[in-house]
Amino acid sequence: MEPKVMRHLFNPRSVAVVGATDSPDRVGYNLLESILYGGYAGKVYPVHPRLGTLQGLTVYPSLEDIPGPVDVAVVAVNQHATVETIARCGRLGIKAAICVAGGYRETGDDGLHLEERLVSLAREHGMALVGPNTLGLINTGADFYSTFYPLRLPKGNVSLVSQSGGMGLTMMHKAADEGLGVNKWVGGGNRSTLEISHYLEYLARDEETGVIGIFLEGTEEARELVRAASRIAKTKPVVVYKAGRFKTADFAALTHTGTAAGSYRMYRDIFMDQFGVLMVDSVAELVAACKALSLSKLPAGEGLGIVTHTAGPSIALLDLAARRGIPVPTLQEETIGKIKGVLGLNPPVVLKNPLDTVGVGFEAGIYGRVVNAVLEDPAIDLMVAIYCWHKNWRFPSPELLAAQRRSGKPVLAYYVTTWEDCREERRILQEAGVPLYISPEEAAGAVSALVHYSNASGREKDAG
């Protein structure tokens, strides 16, 4: 697909909403509201044959009546009318469209033939189609929200591609909960003319995208997808969550976006083992990985240090790290001496990694000095600091930021609390490049992502 067409798709100067209505329970109404609610500053042309105004905008009876050029048509009519609309878009020179209607190949032979007609028209006119059977597309950098779920997302440098609209919403809401800014999001749907590999190629060149996350059901273009992802992962981290591990998922995927899920083991072997693209097993792990890769620098190596004042979470984290093959090095004698200088010559703790400071570490200043001592150990390349919320004791966030600056090593925080009780801490830490998590699973996923791409970066340097 031509780069110019893709740029217009994500950064349109003008948008037509075909099928805009005055009923809030209809998709066309919500697509128009989404564009306006998101703050889009370009020209918006609602299209409806009988309405005069909608949401403060002049309505045009047809595409032919619109007074200016249109970069993107957002099509909110049924599957048959969508085909007719794409034919009209092609004749008018509109080069990109977002087709939300379902009822195509995911429904059987009749739907397949209808989709083939849709694809034929699009290719005849050189059009890029998102969908059909899609939730839509978002570019927060342009305040362009073209989904039928009106949203406003925190802005950042993570871009997400999802075959599923519902899973796409899950990814977006989880990212918002984590304080992770999103740059672009697209629901691939049936991928009629734009495969996931096309979106990846565009995001690879996109200066606003630093990290790419993908939810994948399956694709007939597996070779092109793997090649694109592996090529892009050499310059930008790519994180893939592949659904459909079991045969029972194939039918569900086939009737959802018209594609069988395919072998999970095959995808994992090819993505991770052959090409070094990171694969994860849940939305939570995908968002945790993307957050770490977006906010933190990569470690120089893979040695993990853990400091806590409560043993249980550190044991859980240690177990999860071990499953991922992440080493937790023994602390050097010099480091042990520094820790004794903070805790006393005979502290009531076993001085090892993970380091449990027990009650002595409740005081944030002492906790921070121990973190500094562990980070100074040459075998430690990155740190997870575990601390429990308490009504009368503050979080050691200033100490963690100071330790990060002093050591130059990645520091991740794992606070045992709720987001409600650490929202301000999250803002302070993450604005300074310290990702914050509230579960051992997500902290481990973040560490795994940083180590994975640190190792991949090292292999690239060695090969060069």
Q: What is the mean pLDDT of the chain?
A: 92
- Quick count: other Cβ atoms within 10 Å of Cβ 40? 18
Q: What is the DSSP letter of 107?
A: G
12, 147, 225, 440 from 428: Cα distances, Å? 34, 31, 37, 21
- Quick count: other Cβ atoms within 10 Å of Cβ 392? 5
Please tell me the predicted confidence (pLDDT) of residue 225: 87
Please tell me the predicted confidence (pLDDT) of residue 258: 43
Check pLDDT > 70 for residue 57. Answer: yes
Bridge-based pairing state of the strands 57-58 and 53-54: antiparallel
pLDDT digits (tens, 9 = 90+) for 114-172: 999 999 999 999 999 999 999 999 999 999 999 999 999 999 999 999 999 999 999 99
Check pLDDT > 70 for residue 1. Answer: no
pLDDT digits (tens, 9 = 90+) for 318-366: 999 999 999 999 999 999 999 999 988 777 778 899 999 988 889 999 9
Please tell me the predicted confidence (pLDDT) of residue 221: 76
For 17-31, 213-227, 274-288, 371-385, which range has the lowest pLDDT when averaged over its residues?
213-227
* Tokens 């495969």 found at: 195
For domain 1-147, give the CATH number. Answer: 3.40.50.720
Exposure string for 232-255, b = 16+ CB within 10 A, e = fewer: bbbebbbbbbbbbeeeebbeebbe
Please tell me the predicted confidence (pLDDT) of residue 252: 43
One-letter amino acid of 175? A
Please tell me the predicted confidence (pLDDT) of residue 464: 53
Element (H, E) at 147: strand 144-147
**Domain pair 1-147 / 153-294, same fold:** yes
Please tell me the predicted confidence (pLDDT) of residue 459: 62
Query: Is the Cβ–Cβ distance between 191 and 253 less than 8 Å?
Result: no
Locate 182 and state its tokens.
């999103």
CATH architecture group of domain 153-294 = 3-Layer(aba) Sandwich (3.40)
Please tell me the predicted confidence (pLDDT) of residue 205: 95
pLDDT digits (tens, 9 = 90+) for 189-198: 999 899 999 9
**Stronger pLDDT, 80 or 264, i.e. the higher one:** 80
- Map residue 128 onto helix, strand or coil: strand
Cα 202 from Cα 289, distance rounded (Å): 21
Confidence of residue 246 (pLDDT cuts 50, 70, 90): low
Task: Average the pLDDT over 211-228 and give the result.
Answer: 86
Please tell me the predicted confidence (pLDDT) of residue 255: 43
Check pLDDT > 60 for residue 419. Answer: yes
Check pLDDT > 50 for residue 250. Answer: no
Task: Average the pLDDT over 249-275 and give the result.
Answer: 59
Please tell me the predicted confidence (pLDDT) of residue 267: 79
Cα 174 from Cα 154, distance rounded (Å): 12
Name, in order, each residue with C-beta under 8 angstroms of 34's C-beta and a sequence gap of 6 or more: 136, 145, 146, 147, 148, 149, 150, 151
Check pLDDT > 50 for residue 42. Answer: yes
Task: Average the pLDDT over 253-261 and give the result.
Answer: 44
Confidence of residue 251 (pLDDT cuts 50, 70, 90): very low
For 16-20, 236-240, 266-270, 407-411, which range has the lowest pLDDT when averaged over its residues?
266-270
Partners of 43 in the β-ladder = 14
pLDDT digits (tens, 9 = 90+) for 390-409: 999 999 999 999 999 999 99
Q: What is the DSSP letter of 393?
A: B
Tell me the HSE value of 124 on the side-chain side, using a 13 A CA sphere.
Answer: 14
CATH architecture group of domain 296-463 = 3-Layer(aba) Sandwich (3.40)
Please tell me the predicted confidence (pLDDT) of residue 227: 84
- Map residue 385 onto helix, strand or coil: strand
Cα 295 from Cα 185, distance rounded (Å): 19
CA 402 to chain centre: 29
* Annotated domain spans of the chain: 1-147, 153-294, 296-463
